[in-house]
Structure 1
Amino acid sequence: MTPIVMGLRRGWIEIRHTLTNSVDLWSYLFPAILLLATVAFMRNSTVPGTSFSLGSRTLPGVFGMGIAMGGLMTTSQQLIMDREDGTLLRAKAVPSGMASYLTGKVVLVGGMTLIGFLIQLIPGLFLVDGLSVDVGGWLTLLWLLPVAFVATLPLGAAVGSLFDDPRNMALVTLPIFGAIAISGIFYPITGFPGWLQGLGQVFPMYWLGLGMRSVFLPDSLAAVEIGHSWRHLETFGVLAGWAVLGLVLAPILLRRMAARESGSAVEARRERALSRVGR
């Protein structure tokens, strides 16, 4: 248990550090400001076929999108950056260092994602009307958040283990943004062509958005969803499927990544980074 305890401490220290660093604080605030401004701009529009504010309908989906992006993008970014600066090599050189490192990253990314969620949630409740959480909503949130993290964090680690250059992050971010665009976060997915609806439902972003909407929106809004239902069973099943895939792939890819790490590999990446700066 010692590596796990060390990882928990490491993650907590890194979370506290993000709260004292201006750059990290801005990384919390800027996305929240941007997304809340988008929701505010949409609040005078209505969901097609209803009198309900489109902004109010969009905000819970934004919460789900934030959790997905935290698990997928933040985790992969952390791994790529830590490979380049040698952090992973140092962790590999310490007994049980990789277990401690990965535990710390889970704590860090999970904590950062929850902080970002609260930063969006608290002002968002005052920004739009119509959001409420009943007992059933709280119970849904209790199972949805853990499943969301398990469905996205291992996938983010698996993706991050495939790249060793921060310049390749576009290969990660662009597909994620594409999946968000077709996942019904900012506009009901039922307004898309049938084939695009099917494609959007493949990715966890859609199901996280749907789950969050079921928590915060009245049941009458389920009428604009596919099947006119919140589909909790399907949400759990699809997210669990992504969780299994991530938990299978992540250990394999992370072991391969750790095996390839060496002093010469880190030095080569450092030389490439210095050559880019010198140009």
Structure 2
Amino acid sequence: MTTPPTGAHARSAARSVPRLPGVGRLALARTAFEVRVFFRERDAVVFVFAYPILMLAIFATVFGSDEELVPGSGVYFPQYFLPGMVATGVMLSSFQNLAISIAAERDDGTLKRLRSTPLPPTAYFLGKTGQVLVTAGVQTALLLGVAALAFDVPLPTEAGRWWTFAWVFVLGTAAGSVCGVAYSSVPRTGRSASPVVIPVVLVLQFVSGVFFQFNELPTWMQQLASVFPLKWMAQGMRSVFLPDEAAVLEPSGSWQHGPTAAVLVAWLVVGLVVGVRTFRWRRRDDG
């Protein structure tokens, strides 16, 4: 019968056990892994990256890239619809992508296996968020490049506008990510995830001024959209890519940067609280 090591032997044995890297390093490693996995799913990559570009091209073709939104406004249809496409692209990369992919990982047992490893849950969720930031950044860069080169949409030159773009983009991505994690517990199975998630995204796109001029939507629809973050992301992005004079096209007559930040932060907090309380590592029928 062997006796457990004591004293110096115990300290030596403890030192010989490799220490787990910090959460920051694990999150970076997990982000790199999640990005590789995302780009291996070619159908998802094509949809997430091509959808905003295709929708912008469709609207520019239907309404005319040389037609002004309002005669004399100097704002053309591709320029007006670009901010909404940037916002909906962020929503696709964050909310829709995470809600569907995490539900699938739960269904095939990936989450259950991860939970049994030393990987901290925080590193897993930070890895998902990092993947969203990378993919949303690439997607937005492609969209802006196509808008500028193919449709002559003028891009901002003032640093202040790019600062607004940065905080709206980061807050929108963060809010969409945590809400996607929280909503991933709604589908009962991985196969039902897409039918449960995509209709929600489509409805929000229609009521949030992505496909239509927002101030021309019915009042009740504007009020409904104001509850959700996509409307505020689109409005924040319009303040970046449209001239200051275009603020009169908003129902409030201004860009409302304060309410935009407040709503996005509120959804970020709500998503975190709901996600912490409802997130499941196992299927419903797995205990």
TM-score by length of 2: 0.83
| Equivalent residue for 1:237, pick from 262, 266, 277 | 262
Q: How far, CA to CA, are the matches of 1:246 and 1:117 in structure 2?
A: 23
| Equivalent residue for 2:198, pick from 160, 168, 173 | 173
Note closer, same or farther for the CA distance 1:52–1:174 as it changes in structure 2 (3 Å cut). same
Pairing of 1:39-54 with structure 2 (within 5 A) = 39-41=59-61, 42=63, 43-48=65-70, 50-54=73-77
**How many residues get paired?**
262
Higher-Rg structure is 2
Tell me which residue corresponds to 1:265: 286
TM-score by length of 1: 0.85
- Say yes or no: does 1:2 pair with 2:25: no
Tell me which residue corresponds to 2:56: 36
Residue 171 of structure 1 aligns with an amino acid whose one-letter code is V
Tell me which residue corresponds to 1:155: 179
User: What's the offset of the Cα at 1:113?
Assistant: 1.5
User: What's the offset of the Cα at 1:94?
Assistant: 0.9
Q: How far, CA to CA, are the matches of 1:235 and 1:87 in structure 2?
A: 36
- CA-atom RMSD, angstroms? 2.3
Q: How far, CA to CA, are the matches of 2:40 and 2:102 in structure 1?
A: 22
Tell me which residue corresponds to 1:276: none
Tell me which residue corresponds to 2:35: 15
Q: How far, CA to CA, are the matches of 2:193 and 2:152 in structure 1?
A: 41
Note closer, same or farther for the CA distance 1:171–1:3 as it changes in structure 2 (3 Å cut). same
Q: How far, CA to CA, are the matches of 1:218 and 1:48 in structure 2?
A: 13
Gaps of 5+ in 1: 267-279
Residue 232 of structure 2 aligns with an amino acid whose one-letter code is W
Pairing of 1:95-106 with structure 2 (within 5 A) = 95-106=118-129
Pairing of 1:134-145 with structure 2 (within 5 A) = 134-145=158-169
Q: How far, CA to CA, are the matches of 2:46 and 2:104 in structure 1?
A: 19
Among the aligned pairs, what percent are the same residue?
A: 26
Gaps of 5+ in 2: 1-20
Q: How far, CA to CA, are the matches of 1:230 and 1:135 in structure 2?
A: 17
1:122-153 per-position Cα deviation (integer Å, ceiling 9, x unaligned): 11112334533112201212321221122211
Tell me which residue corresponds to 2:11: none
Q: Which structure has more helix as a fraction of its residues?
A: 1
Asked if 1 retains the 8 angstrom alpha-carbon contact of 2:89 and 2:136, the reply is yes
User: What's the offset of the Cα at 1:11?
Assistant: 1.5
